[in-house]
Amino acid sequence: MSGSTAIIGSGLIGRAWAIAFARAGWSVRLWDPAAQAAAEAQGLVAALLEDLAANDMLRGQKVEEVLGRISTAPTLSQALDGVDWVQENAPEKLEVKRALWQEMEPLAPAEAVLASSTSAIVPSLFSEELASRARCLTVHPINPPYLVPAVELVPAPWTSSDTLKRAEEVMRAIGQAPIVMRKEIDGFVMNRLQGALLEEAFRLVADGICSAEDVDIGIRDGLALRWSFMGPFETIDLNAPAGVRDYAERYQGLYENLFASMQRRVDWTGPVMEEIETERRQRLPAEQLGDRQRWRDRRLMALLRHRSQAAEEVGE
């Protein structure tokens, strides 16, 4: 399946979505309210595509092929003309989103799915007043979606099941791994899971139990090894002889005993941050943050190549 998509807002997330759709054969139209922004975005996308090609992440295509599918539109209405999908990437301000969606929605073809990339705004808040609100939802990526497969599909109470189904199909078609939520909730799924883990991580450091690096070791050299190819439920399903129920029956007591001591949060920007920041800046001076981000992206690409290969050789 392929089609055409309008990318509304050509910042970091918009450009990343443009790559994800165009790489999968979709034609992409970029629009941004700032003059020249969409045209500049095309140049930035071209540079990113070179980097992806060098890392074998374009599924065998040439940069020009993918880039050739991405154009810019001078007006919002021209961007939306005839598209199958609209991906909105406006700033994370509710008033901005509301105004934009009010403008966007009547201009988009009746059959198009309208999706917001927002990481923090539940879709009911910007779609309630819209005439065709049943086709509106949040489709939130972990940036950048052309590398990280998981995306959250978050329905408002009025999002139709048909819209959710089409959104799932489109995301699968471009190579993402959709989390199909049944209802909206603050933090969606991934930030809730990340938040729960981070709260405990900050508490452990604040309480003098261990260092921030110790937490990173426990995840990087411990728990996340299996999580990175199975997830936590499959992990516990395989960690007791008779599966997940057996695991819960054997070990719930252990976790239940810890719960009371997790009912308090520490201020992440309070005294604990002095310690964490000192530790991090000793390991990685501020002026090396940019280099380390590029290292992270190369490691991520290498990991993804490994995952494809392992899925083929060992099984998925």
Binding residues for its own copies restricted to 68-97, rule: CB under 8 A: none
Cα–Cα distance for residue pair 76/32, rounded to 1 Å: 8
Q: Which is nearer to its own copies, 46 or 203 (CB)?
A: 203
Q: Which is nearer to its own copies, 57 or 107 (CB)?
A: 57
Per-residue binding letters, 116-155, with its own copies (x by CB under 8 A): ----x---------------------x-----xxx-x---
Regarding 1 and contact with its own copies (CB under 8 A), the answer is no
**In the complex, what is the shortest distance from the CB of residue 310 to its own copies, in angstroms, rounded to a whole number?**
5
User: In this structure, are strands 177-180 and 150-155 parallel, antiparallel, or unpaired?
Assistant: parallel
Kindly tell me which residue out of 109, 265, 271, 308 binds its own copies, with binding defined by CB under 8 A.
265
Regarding 190 and contact with its own copies (CB under 8 A), the answer is yes
User: In this structure, are strands 85-88 and 70-72 parallel, antiparallel, or unpaired?
Assistant: unpaired
Kindly tell me which residue out of 59, 93, 172, 281 binds its own copies, with binding defined by CB under 8 A.
281
Instruction: Look at phi and psi of residue 7 and say left if phi exceeds 0, alpha if psi is from -120 to 50, else beta.
Output: beta
Regarding 312 and contact with its own copies (CB under 8 A), the answer is no
Regarding 158 and contact with its own copies (CB under 8 A), the answer is no
Name all contacts of 226-232 with Cβ < 8 Å and 24+ positions apart: 228/303, 228/307, 229/307, 229/310
Helix, strand or coil for residue 116?
A: strand
**In the complex, what is the shortest distance from the CB of residue 281 to its own copies, in angstroms, rounded to a whole number?**
7
Site for its own copies in 203-262 (CB under 8 A): 204, 207-234, 236-238, 241-245, 248-249, 252, 254-259, 261-262
Regarding 107 and contact with its own copies (CB under 8 A), the answer is no
Token look-up 């807002």 returns 9
Cα diameter, the chain: 62
With CB under 8 A as the contact rule, which of the stretches 45-53, 103-111, 126-134, 268-276 interacts with its own copies? 268-276
Helices (H), 92-223: 94-107, 124-127, 161-173, 190-206, 212-218
